Amino acid sequence: MKNVLGIELGKAIKNWRFFFVVLAGCVLSIGSAVLNLQHYWEESAMLQLEAASGTITNQMVEVESFHNYWLVMDGYTFFFSLLFYVLPLLATIPFAWSYCQERNKAYERNMVVRCGRYRYYGAKYLTTFLSGGFAVLIPVLLNVLLIALFIPARTPQIDYLIYYGVNYGDMWSVIFYTMPGLYVLLRILLIFVSCGFLAVLGMSVAYITKNQVAVLVTPFFVCVALQVLGSALFAYNKTSAALSPIDFLGQGGNNAKPLWPALLEMGIIAAITIISTCIRGKRHEIY
C-alpha cells in the first residue's frame, strides 16, 4: 500500500492540473488579501484621525483584527465570492479525473494485477482526497499568512458581535470569542476535509460513467443544488441555514452557519464513497 500510495501521490502532485488549481486559488486569495488590507488601512487611518480630533473616544481596536479580515471572514470581495463558488471544481480538477482516465485506458487492469484490488483503490481514494484538500488548503494558508503579516490578531469581543458576523448558533461561535486561534484552525480543517470529500465524490462518479467531464462537474452541481435548496427553504419558512459547502465554508452571506449541515453532508459523502470504493474493489470485473 505504501509503494502504491507513493506512486499515486507523485502522479497527483506532478501534474499541470494541480499546479493550475493551486495557482488560480492563490491569485484569488491574494486578491482577497489585498482588498481587505486596503480596507483595514483606510479604516484604521480614519479611526485614528477621528480619535485625534476628538470626534470619537472608542476606536474599536478589537474589530480591526486579523480574525475579521482573513479569507473565511471576508464575505464581501469578488475574489472571496469567486473562490468559494468554484471551490468544488478546485477540489476535483487536480486528481478526481485520474481513476476515470486509467479506467478508460485499461491502466486500472495493470495496477490491480500488480498490487491487488484493495491497495490500488485505497491508494487512489486517499490520494484523491489529499489532492483535493491540499489544492484548496494552500491558497487559504497563503491568505492567512498575508493577513497575519499586517493585521494584529486581537481577540474578538462579544460586545462587537455585529462586526464579526459570528452569531450564537453558528459553528464554533463560542470558540471564536474565547479561543480564536483554535477557531481559525478548525475552519481551515473543515475546508480541507470538505474539499477532500468533494474530490472523492467526483472520483466515485467514475464507477458508473466513463465521462471525465461528469466526474469533474458532479460535485459542483451537487453543491449548487444544495444552495438552491437552502434558498427555497428560506423562501418557504424563513429558516436560514447554509446547506451547501459553497456557503458554510465561508462567512459571506446572511445565512446562519450551524455545524450540522457540514457534518451531515460530509458524513453522507464519506459513507457513500467509502462503501462504493470497497464494493468496487471487491466485485468490479476489470476484464
Q: Indicate the pTM of the whole model.
A: 0.89
* Residue reference for cell 500488480: 114
Measured CA to CA, the distance from residue 99 to residue 272 in angstroms comes to 17
Q: What is the pLDDT of residues 115-153, one digit of tens each?
A: 777 788 888 899 999 999 999 999 999 999 999 999 888
**Residue 130 vs residues 84, 123, 141, 148: alpha-carbon distances, Å:** 18, 11, 16, 26
Per the structure block, which three cell numbers stand in for 9?
Answer: 501521490
**Residue 164 vs residues 13, 44, 60, 108, 151: alpha-carbon distances, Å:** 37, 16, 12, 50, 15
Axis-axis angle for helices 2-13, 107-115 (nearest 10): 150
Per the structure block, which three cell numbers stand in for 164?
Answer: 464579526
Measured CA to CA, the distance from residue 255 to residue 238 in angstroms comes to 10
Q: How many residues does the chain have?
A: 287
Measured CA to CA, the distance from residue 85 to residue 26 in angstroms comes to 15
Q: What is the pLDDT of residues 151-206, one digit of tens each?
A: 888 888 887 777 787 878 788 888 988 899 999 999 999 999 999 999 999 999 98
